[in-house]
Structure 1
Amino acid sequence: MRVLNFTYLTVAIFLFCTSCSDKQYQTLFLQQKALSDSTSKKASVKTVDYQIKSQDILQIRNLQDIKYIVNESPITANASGNNASQGQEFQVQDDSTVALPVIGHIKVIGLTRAEAQKLIEDQYRKVLLKDPIIDLKIINLKVTILGEVRGQGNYVLTKDRTSLVEVIGQAGGLTDRANEKNVKIIRGTEASPKVINVDLADIGSINDPKTILQSGDIIYIAQNKRAARSDNLQSFTVIFQPALLLFNTALIIFTLIHK
């Protein structure tokens, strides 16, 4: 009977320990140390505005009259069914141009959003409009965020310069399982990927130019050590508990037989 009691006590302690959960106390933006990346840790990083590429989607509107991209042709809805107040959408062609009402094909590949906006505005001023105010957005730019955030998925870059912290905020913030010191930005092509390691415990990460996101970036937030240990322990428990139950049953039968 002592053996049986000891077994029950062992099982109870084991189940209690496996049911305990560690809480992650995140320390964001407290420490001060330099960021590093996988290629050149000492090289200075210059923030470069996105340059328009083939197949990009440009959303264009004339702020002088939001119902018209130009003053002579009313637009009720664009090809995607969006409201006219949001502007029309035009796709950049492989020949490096975008076809626009009245002014025709305008070469935009290689230009930044601001440069393309000014070019189109100047062209409408020369050909048709007296004082156009053209608003241009590139609406297909996005990043992907995975791992320990509350809302994984794709997020559109709505500004010229969107920071890592802003996108994490859009994703609902980090979970309790997140390792704030192990955030990775995967950037570049498949043939030449680059990994930027970010420590969000470092207050310098807020303004570091390497955390200004680029279209196509993949952001991954790793688990903290407590979460990883908990997952490993749960996996062990799933395997061990049936064996423990079988052993306990055998021990009860043995005890009853030898009473």
Structure 2
Amino acid sequence: MFEQKNYSRADSSIKQAQQYKYLIKPDDILQVRNLQDRKFLSNESTATGGGTQTGGQTFQVDEEGLVTLPVVGRVNVAGLTRQQAEKKMQKLYTDSLFKNAIIELKITNLQVRVFGEVGAQGNYPLLKEKTSLIDVLGQAGGLNKTADEKTVRIIRGAGHEEIMFDLSNKNTLSDPRLTLQNDDIIVIAQNKRAVRDDKVQSFSTVAQPSLLLLNTALIILSLFR
């Protein structure tokens, strides 16, 4: 019964991960770029070595779920996926300004947090539509020698779900839950050897003053014999 319950919970978690799509909400930062006319909706900057690079303009979704765009004005994007919002903007610009407008939309404020035994802990942006745990661990400098690759945790949904992964098992790489979601927290624990070494080090640090005091007492005692 207990195993069936665990399997059912895991199946539900996997299904949710497969169906997950981020929905735009107030305060999100949207980067919008027109691929048909790169000078429109562009943020032009000088590139290293001369020349220029163009990125889309950024717009913040207001508390009502609206974003104010050039020409077309205020657009309701709250509750839409990135693809849905992109298509909506594309239609608005096609109807009002460009023939067959090609709009590219990115949500630039999505991120995850990495803690524990990696090269560099910190916040990492979700740069791709489907960024995997492996991608972010690579950005974080990979696992340290002290990392326990068999107990990598993702804390998801504001702490409502905790998923454990064994990265030493190649079958884990096909788990759809490895695709990260906004605000995921990734925790890399120490392996058993590192934990044991830390305990020994801690004991040595605590015991050293006592041993020094004992040695001093023995020296003094030997002088009075």
- Structure (1/2) with the larger strand percentage: 2
**Is contact 1:181-1:201 (8 Å) kept?**
yes
Alignment of 1:63 with 2:35, yes or no, is yes
Where in structure 2 are the equivalents of 1:96-245 lying within 5 Å?
Answer: 96-189=65-158, 193-245=160-212
Cα deviation, residue 194, structure 1: 1.0
* Matched residue SS, 2:23: coil
* Matched residue SS, 2:92: helix
Tell me how far apart the structure 1 counterparts of residues 210 and 31 of structure 2 sit (CA, whole Å).
Answer: 62
Tell me how far apart the structure 2 counterparts of residues 211 and 40 of structure 1 sit (CA, whole Å).
Answer: 16
Tell me how far apart the structure 1 counterparts of residues 7 and 117 of structure 2 sit (CA, whole Å).
Answer: 22
Cα deviation, residue 108, structure 1: 1.2
Tell me how far apart the structure 2 counterparts of residues 165 and 245 of structure 1 sit (CA, whole Å).
Answer: 48
Summarize deviations over 1:107-158 as a string: whole Å, max 9, x none: 2112111111111111100111113211110000000000111110000001
Q: CA RMSD in A?
A: 2.1
Relative CO higher for 1 or 2, CA cutoff 8 Å, sep ≥ 6?
1
| 1:252 corresponds to which of 216, 219, 222 | 219
Tell me how far apart the structure 2 counterparts of residues 168 and 42 of structure 1 sit (CA, whole Å).
Answer: 25
Give the aligned residue type for 1:229. Answer: R
Tell me how far apart the structure 1 counterparts of residues 161 and 215 of structure 2 sit (CA, whole Å).
Answer: 53
* Matched residue SS, 2:93: helix
Worse-superposed segment, 224-233 or 144-153: 224-233
Tell me how far apart the structure 1 counterparts of residues 191 and 72 of structure 2 sit (CA, whole Å).
Answer: 56
Number of residue pairs the alignment of both structures matches = 211
**Is contact 1:149-1:174 (8 Å) kept?**
yes
Tell me how far apart the structure 2 counterparts of residues 189 and 178 of structure 1 sit (CA, whole Å).
Answer: 24
Worse-superposed segment, 140-149 or 111-120: 111-120
Tell me how far apart the structure 1 counterparts of residues 40 and 53 of structure 2 sit (CA, whole Å).
Answer: 8
**Is contact 2:117-2:190 (8 Å) kept?**
yes
CA change 1:85–1:111 in 2 (3 A) is same
* Matched residue SS, 1:165: helix
Give the aligned residue type for 1:41. Answer: A
* Matched residue SS, 1:250: helix
* Matched residue SS, 1:204: helix
CA change 1:76–1:148 in 2 (3 A) is closer
CA change 1:58–1:231 in 2 (3 A) is same
Summarize deviations over 1:183-204 as a string: whole Å, max 9, x none: 11111136xx211111111112
Cα deviation, residue 257, structure 1: 3.3
Tell me how far apart the structure 2 counterparts of residues 233 and 98 of structure 1 sit (CA, whole Å).
Answer: 57
Tell me how far apart the structure 2 counterparts of residues 54 and 131 of structure 1 sit (CA, whole Å).
Answer: 28
Give the aligned residue type for 1:66. Answer: R
Structure 1 unaligned runs (5+)? 1-36, 78-82
Q: Which has the larger radius of gyration?
A: 1
Summarize deviations over 1:158-191 as a string: whole Å, max 9, x none: 111100011001000001111111111111136x
* Matched residue SS, 1:40: helix
Tell me how far apart the structure 2 counterparts of residues 141 and 160 of structure 1 sit (CA, whole Å).
Answer: 10
* Matched residue SS, 2:149: strand
So what's the TM-score if we normalise by structure 2?
0.86
Tell me how far apart the structure 1 counterparts of residues 176 and 131 of structure 2 sit (CA, whole Å).
Answer: 10
Tell me how far apart the structure 2 counterparts of residues 251 and 39 of structure 1 sit (CA, whole Å).
Answer: 65
Tell me how far apart the structure 1 counterparts of residues 144 and 165 of structure 2 sit (CA, whole Å).
Answer: 17
* Matched residue SS, 1:94: coil
Give the aligned residue type for 1:56. Answer: D
